[in-house]
Amino acid sequence: MTALTVLWYNVTMLFKSFSEKINTTLGRLSPARRIFLSFALVILAGSLLLSLPFVQATSSQATYFDHLFTAVSMVCVTGLFTQPVATTYNIWGQLICMFLIQIGGLGLMTFIGIFYIQSKQKLSLRSRETILESFSYGETQSLMVFIRSIFLTTFIVEGLGAFLLSFRFVPEFGWGRGIFTSIFVAISAFCNAGFDNFGSTSLVAFQTDPLINLVLAALIITGGLGFMVWFDLATQLSKKKRRLRFHTKLVLFLTAGILFTGTVSTLLIEWNNPGTIGNLSIPDKLLVSFFQTVSMRTAGFASIDFTQARPVTLLIYILQMFLGGAPGGTAGGLKITTFFVLLVFARSELLGLPHANVARRTILPRTVQKSFSVFIIFLLTFLLGLILLGVTAEGNPRFIYIMFETISALATVGVTANLTPELGRLALSIIMLLMFIGRIGPLTLLVSLAEYQPDKKDMIHYMKADITIG
């Protein structure tokens, strides 16, 4: 056997042993708690691996706390950091970073699932439920096909993205580093992680490069649409009668609308701002405005200095980060479909309609209730995080920057107005907690911690409560 075959065999056996131990450890837990603990275990393992001496760059000044922060940010596919990847980790450390980002984007249970499928072993019912819940997938009969399609889509899209990026990075950095950088950035973009191995300035040096900006934008959008959308598109393209699910049409429509609105608003507000796009040509202004709008949907790459942007632009970006991407993908935030359900319900209430109807369809009351629950919990988490970060942030930073940082962490975006490196450990700990909550979902966190069993009195229908609202 060749050395590569031996290495692959050893890695496979190691992951087999690891997956079996994880399944045994988490076997009796509910799906919500399995999601919670699987991400926590990967973060812990990642922080320990990143702190190993042989993966450090010679210029590294990182402590274990910095490695822990980086591991949380990578597994939660956020993009915030206290120490830049390029000056902290050598090629081995960056390989670990790529692995953490990929696991964070797809989820540990999905990797375990594909291993069981490839080894022709049967997934337990709880493992199936966990994977379904982590991707918000509602069909069980095609789970195996769905998992395979996740990996196939991921590696094809990332591979194509890396190939296209290599046309720019290979001439820039040489063959070895150029190809490695292309793969690293492609994985980070598809997983909406926002990490790069250039330095601390993100994509500012490539601000007006159309190839890099458009390829990364395509990767970000692809990952943010959600695997359910791509699974539906692939399924329907193989049929003569192409009839997309309503969810797919809605996600595509909302994504296009948000990208158009965000691009136009950034273009108009920042048109004459020399600190952002004011000194660029019209095509470059359009390119930068479009890329930043795409990036605000939980990707985290920056091609402008956010401290130079107008406050109203930052407020629009905050709203975009709050909305996030589509469910079932690598994006974070509230999710655009959740917000849409709330808008439809609000319209029905204002007009006095008996049902929340849209496009000749009625949204189920259960869906409306869940949307309200997610919105309230997400909003309260954001407000609590904002207050805590405002109290613990040192140096009296501008409130708009604190708000920007808070939603960037909770929505797993990863952009910053140069605030993260200036924060103390207490504030950074709050940021880590927000990133973790944002990745697994506030509702999932509460369910995993509580696992509330209702009493009989909670199931009784009492007399109507006389409460005046509005």
| Phi, psi dihedrals of residue 207, rounded to the nearest 5° | -55, -40
The pLDDT score that the predictor gives to residue 248 is 87
Which of 272-280's residues contact partners 24+ apart within 8 Å by CB, and which partners?
273/308, 273/309, 273/310, 275/305, 275/308, 275/309, 276/304, 276/305, 276/308, 276/309, 276/313, 277/304, 280/207, 280/208
Tens-digit pLDDT profile for residues 299-327: 888 888 899 999 999 999 999 999 988 88
Alpha-carbon span 74 to 436, nearest angstrom: 10
Q: Are the CB atoms for 326 and 342 separated by under 8 Å?
A: no
Of the ranges 38-42, 59-63, 288-292, which one carries the lowest mean pLDDT score?
38-42
- Cβ within 8 Å of residue 5, ≥6 positions away: none
The pLDDT score that the predictor gives to residue 146 is 72
Closest CA to 314 of 260, 258, 276: 276
Query: Stretch 100-123: mean pLDDT, rounded?
Result: 65
- The two three-digit tokens of residue 226, written as one number: 């959600």
What's the pTM value of the predicted model, to 2 decimals?
0.85
In terms of average pLDDT, the best of 221-235, 356-370, 432-446 is 356-370
Of the ranges 110-119, 193-202, 223-232, 239-248, which one carries the lowest mean pLDDT score?
110-119
Closest CA to 137 of 158, 99, 109: 109
The pLDDT score that the predictor gives to residue 39 is 82
- The two three-digit tokens of residue 10, written as one number: 């050893």
Average pLDDT, the chain: 82
The pLDDT score that the predictor gives to residue 140 is 47
